[in-house]
């Protein structure tokens, strides 16, 4: 009986071993992955940045004399004409100076008249040999001095008139007031900013761009600009000005794009600009191909001779939506795994479609 039981147990064990071997053989089937065959193609990097429509020419308006503001005639957003009065300053002191200048000029004119009469008398007397040459020269000197006083008084009067006119702040061009920095009753100093005037005429789309956008790449001279509310409707505009310095508070570079003939883009409207790099041949891969090796970007490469995989570090040039560009690490013709790489091991044999290309 014991012999029969042992034989039966050996038969069951042999059957189990055969089943395990069949199961192990089934598990050895190569893992299926999706791949692409790398090839270089023209790549354009695009960066979308928001900006604002501004006037190409803006003026900072200020009084040329100091005093107390007594009247403000415009506010932000008001359209003004060239020469229009925007604000007035208390002009009592300037009027008093003007009255003094007028009185000084009248006194100088009277002295000039007396000196002219005295000189004419001395000339007539000198012709008749009644007076001396010294008296004639003295009369001529007094006349010249009186004439100089008149010119000085006239210049003082002109200066006083100018100072009185400076108590009125006027627009230097047609445009729109975009900023106000003073109120009625405030004592303003000469050259202190009161209004900012955006001149009518050409408009610019102004963008504050991080300096990294210009490092190591050449950007296209054209920018696709559209209103933020309708960003799908964009127009090609040329870059007109790039600031040579970096704004210290924001670390950005100011870029101005000319909006020639863009009548629908009103002053102050938010816009979106697409800055594109010049097309260059590069290798692009989908995000799903990205792996990591020792904390650095890498991809899985398939050896076509053995269908085994290995991980290779790469140098990423740029990251885009849904894809990334590779600067170094892969070459045209390499087979890169783009799907199914999560549980791969170096040297593992995989199954892939050899007809897929990128």
Report the SS3 class of residue 342: coil
What are the backbone dihedrals phi and psi of residue 248, each rounded to the nearest 5 degrees, phi first? Answer: -65, -30
How far apart CA 145 and CA 29 sit, in angstroms, is 118
Q: How confident is the model at residue 58 (pLDDT cuts 50, 70, 90)?
A: very high
Tokens 């354009």 correspond to: 44
Residue 19 has pLDDT above 50, yes or no: no
Mean pLDDT computed over 44-54: 88
How far apart CA 130 and CA 124 sit, in angstroms, is 9
Segment 317-355, tens digit of pLDDT: 777 778 888 888 888 888 888 888 888 888 888 888 865
Check residue 3 and give its pLDDT. 44
Mean pLDDT computed over 288-311: 88
Check residue 103 and give its pLDDT. 96
Q: How confident is the model at residue 27 (pLDDT cuts 50, 70, 90)?
A: low
Residue 182 has pLDDT above 70, yes or no: yes
In DSSP notation, 190-237 reads TT-EEEEEEESS-EEEEEEEEGGGGTT--EEEEEEEEEGGGTTS-EEE
131 DSSP 8-state letter: S
Residue 142 has pLDDT above 70, yes or no: yes
Residue 258 has pLDDT above 50, yes or no: yes
Segment 114-138, tens digit of pLDDT: 999 999 999 999 888 888 899 999 9
Check residue 334 and give its pLDDT. 87
What's the length of the chain?
358
How far apart CA 31 and CA 350 sit, in angstroms, is 5
* End-to-end CA gap in the chain: 70
Spatial contact of 24 and 17, defined as CB atoms under 8 Å apart: no
Check residue 120 and give its pLDDT. 92
Confidence (pTM): 0.62
Query: In whole numbers, what is the pLDDT of the chain averaged over residues?
Result: 85
Segment 203-251, tens digit of pLDDT: 999 999 988 777 767 888 899 998 988 767 788 899 999 998 888 888 8
Residue 185 has pLDDT above 70, yes or no: yes
Q: Please report how many Cα atoms fall inside a 13 Å half-sphere around the Cα of residue 313, on the Cβ side.
A: 5
Check residue 281 and give its pLDDT. 77
Q: Please name which of 187, 203, 211, 341 lies closest in space to residue 275, comparing C-alpha atoms.
A: 211
Q: How confident is the model at residue 263 (pLDDT cuts 50, 70, 90)?
A: low
């Amino acid at each position: 009986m014991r012999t029969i039981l042992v034989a039966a147990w050996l038969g069951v064990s042999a059957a189990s071993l055969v089943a395990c071997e069949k199961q192990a053989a089934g598990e050895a089937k190569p893992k299926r992955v999706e791949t692409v065959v790398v090839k270089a193609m023209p790549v354009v990097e695009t960066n979308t940045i928001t900006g604002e429509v501004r006037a190409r020419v803006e003026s900072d308006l200020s009084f040329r004399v100091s005093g107390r503001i007594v009247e403000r005639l415009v506010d932000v957003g008001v359209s003004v004409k060239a020469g229009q009065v925007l604000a007035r300053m208390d002009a009592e002191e300037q009027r008093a100076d003007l009255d003094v200048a007028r009185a000084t000029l009248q006194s100088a004119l009277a002295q000039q008249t007396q000196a002219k009469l005295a000189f004419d008398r001395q000339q007539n007397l000198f012709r008749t040999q009644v007076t001396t040459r010294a008296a004639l020269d003295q009369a001529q000197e007094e006349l010249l001095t009186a004439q100089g006083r008149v010119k000085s008084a006239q210049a003082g009067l002109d200066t006083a008139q100018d100072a009185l006119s400076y108590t009125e702040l006027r627009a230097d061009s047609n445009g729109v007031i975009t900023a106000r920095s003073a109120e009625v009753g405030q004592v303003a100093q000469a050259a202190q900013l009161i209004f900012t005037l955006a001149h009518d005429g050409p408009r610019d789309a102004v963008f504050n761009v991080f300096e990294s956008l210009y490092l190591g790449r050449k950007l296209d001279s054209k920018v696709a600009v559209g209103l933020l509310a309708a960003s799908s409707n964009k127009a090609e505009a040329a870059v007109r000005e790039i600031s040579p310095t970096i704004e210290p508070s924001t670390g950005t570079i100011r870029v101005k794009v000319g909006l020639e003939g863009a009548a629908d883009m009103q002053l102050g409207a938010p816009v979106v600009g697409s800055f594109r790099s010049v097309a260059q041949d590069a290798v692009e891969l989908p995000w799903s191909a990205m792996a990591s090796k020792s904390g650095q970007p890498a991809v899985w490469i398939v050896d076509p001779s053995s269908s085994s995989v290995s991980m290779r570090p790469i140098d990423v040039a740029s990251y885009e939506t849904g894809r990334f560009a590779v600067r170094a690490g892969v070459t045209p013709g390499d087979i890169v795994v783009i799907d199914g790489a999560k549980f791969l091991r170096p040297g593992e044999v995989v199954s892939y479609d050899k007809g897929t290309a990128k």
